[in-house]
Amino acid sequence: MKLVFLHTSDLHGYVLPTDYQIKNNYQAPFSLSRVNSVIKQEREKYGTENVIVTDAGDFLQGSPLAAYVHENSQDNLVRYANIYNCVGYDARVLGNHDFDFGTDYLKQCLAYANDSFINANIVAERTNLPAFDLAPFKIIEKRGVKVGLIGCTTQYVPNWESKEKLAGLKFVSAYEQVKAVAQKLRSQVDVLAVVYHGGFESDPATGRATQPHNGENEAYRILKEVPGIDMLLTGHQHQRISLVDKGTAIVQSGYRGETVAEVVLDIDDKTKKISAMTTRLIDTREVNPDSEVLHACKDLEWETQVWLDRPIAILDKPAKIKNATAARLHGSPFINLLQQMQLYFTKADISATALMSETAHGFDKQVTMRDLILNYPYSNQLCCVRVTGRELRHVIEHSLAFLTKDQAGKVAFADKYIRPHSLLFNFDLFYPINYQANISRPVGRRLTSLTFHGEEIVADQVYHLAVNNYRAMGGGFYPEYSKDKIEFTLDKDYIQMFQEYLTSGLVNVDDVSNYHFY
């Protein structure tokens, strides 16, 4: 018999085929609606009795629709959960961004979900039992074949979220939990899979380290050190992965529902053993959106569009972005405006931020809610961090490592930071310091000038730096940031801050670039 696994991850609230840049444009090549069409297609092809459907989290935050649901009534959360209920997942796990709005909000959504969530490595501090009363694993039987599914989430969540948001929770190593559960579960099942909101710290094919081995991603260690795992159904990194490594099927389905990852196992009818396995990624752009999801989302989508077009403020002049790459390399009034806002709320000396979206257009003179969310799509909080001048220099040098020279000798971004997916949300710029960098010089030694109010940055002097909580907790593998250096965190997200700042009457858009790369 054939046993088929269909896997998704990192949908981030994109239930419809739109990125909300253009109103009433629903032609985008992704979405839960397209995903569900693929799932129905494969269920019909193989028979529902032969298909298991899983998801590896990050479903609750990311899209303007998800932002509208969070900003408004509880009834909207019920309707939102019901959209995902249309799919009929057999097992789901939580992603790190599912904690962005706090555990109370997450618990409410879990209560409305029909799907079975599993969780082995997020535990209650008081009992050390799996949090939210979720089971660490699930056993599903398909035509006499017993399948074990172990659920895990990256243990790195506390490095991005505040203690208040995660009160009462403890995140332990996915590797350690998978190892412990697999040892008990392997003898009870014919097929054993891990559904993991986490990815690979090393290339699964070559073993070459691709990220610091800091515990954020542990799939490679699980692959190499935990015996008996037949499948790794992963997420978090937004990568497209489809391969079989020494008898283990490995998949990751990208971002926003751009693909459905499929694993097909040939099972011997007598022994129940796996005789062969194949993997592939099914591109959802090839199918029409599913009518059931469209119907479930219809009213909520209309309300979201009305909410997005609500005017927020009028600026003294536009802060536009014509091209995201050029804005990063040469400066942008919008990036300056974001920095100005961070300084306004923290009263810090210096601000650091990235341009968060590849499709960000900045602001016209009239700013709407759509503009706010599309230009800053993450639910971060703002921190003030204490750094010395020497540490600040190290931080800036890390950001400069993203840059290279192209064949024509022009400054550009190194290919590994833009393919297969852009990582430029980790490329920070700094304000109002003035700095210059020679990109022909070795990484770590590129700064040629670094001044603050016309004076050289002093190595041993303490400076106060405004930066989002993701970065302040070490996100993006930056050096020098750590919890003990955070002086305070504001209890507001960026959308709230934008609304308050833009209506303060104190906004003057700065269109002068304060840095130069050559």
The first and second tokens of residue 278, run together, are 């194949």
Residues 322 and 173 in one domain: no
Q: What pLDDT shows up at residue 212?
A: 86
Q: Which residue from 465, 51, 65, 116 is spatially nearest to 256, judged by alpha carbons? A: 65
Q: Which residue from 158, 162, 194 is spatially nearest to 176, judged by alpha carbons? A: 194
The residue behind tokens 């099927």 is 249
40 touches 51 (CB < 8 A): no
Query: For residue 295, what are the domain limits?
Result: 2-305
Residues 348 and 231 in one domain: no
482 touches 214 (CB < 8 A): no
* pLDDT per 10-residue tile (average), the chain, 518 residues: 97 96 92 98 98 98 94 87 97 96 94 92 95 96 97 94 90 98 97 98 92 94 97 97 96 97 96 97 97 97 95 92 95 96 97 92 93 87 96 98 96 93 94 98 98 97 96 91 93 88 90 96
Residues 200 and 92 in one domain: yes
For residue 478, the number of C-alpha atoms closer than 13 Å in the C-beta half-sphere is: 33
Q: What pLDDT shows up at residue 135?
A: 97
The residues that bridge with 6 in the sheet, in sequence order, are 53, 262
Q: What pLDDT shows up at residue 278?
A: 98
Residues 194 and 95 in one domain: yes
Q: What pLDDT shows up at residue 270?
A: 92
Residues 71 and 145 in one domain: yes
Q: What pLDDT shows up at residue 100?
A: 92
Residue at a domain's end among 250, 273, 305: 305
Helix (H, G, I), strand (E, B) or coil at 76: helix
Residues 61 and 119 in one domain: yes
* CB-CB neighbours of 45 under 10 Å: 11
CATH number at residue 496: 3.90.780.10
Residue 424, CA distances (Å) to 25, 237, 350, 400, 403 in order: 26, 14, 21, 12, 11
Q: What pLDDT shows up at residue 384?
A: 97
**Beta carbons within 8 Å of 65's beta carbon, 6+ residues apart:** 13, 14, 15, 16, 20, 80, 297, 300, 301, 304
Q: What pLDDT shows up at residue 75?
A: 86
Residues 239 and 321 in one domain: no
Which letter, b or e, does each residue of 284-298 get, where b requires 16 or more Cβ atoms within 10 Å of its Cβ?
A: beebebbeebbebbe
Residues 287 and 369 in one domain: no
What secondary structure letter does DSSP report for 130?
B
Q: Which residue from 339, 321, 317, 338 is spatially nearest to 330, judged by alpha carbons? A: 321
Q: CA angle at residue 447 from 443 to 451, to 5 degrees?
A: 155
Q: What pLDDT shows up at residue 447?
A: 98
Q: What is the helix (H) or strand (E) element at residue 150, kind and residue range?
A: strand 145-153
Question: Dihedral, CA atoms, 100, 178, 238, 370, nearest 10 degrees?
Answer: -20
The first and second tokens of residue 68, run together, are 């509208």
CATH number at residue 46: 3.60.21.10
Residues 337 and 382 in one domain: yes
- pTM: predicted TM-score of the whole model, two decimal places: 0.88
Q: Give me the number of domains the chain comprises.
A: 2
Residues 258 and 319 in one domain: no
Q: Which residue from 468, 441, 450 is spatially nearest to 514, judged by alpha carbons? A: 450
Residue at a domain's end among 269, 289, 305: 305
Residues 298 and 323 in one domain: no
Residues 27 and 108 in one domain: yes
Look at the chain and count its residues: 518
The residues that bridge with 384 in the sheet, in sequence order, are 466, 488
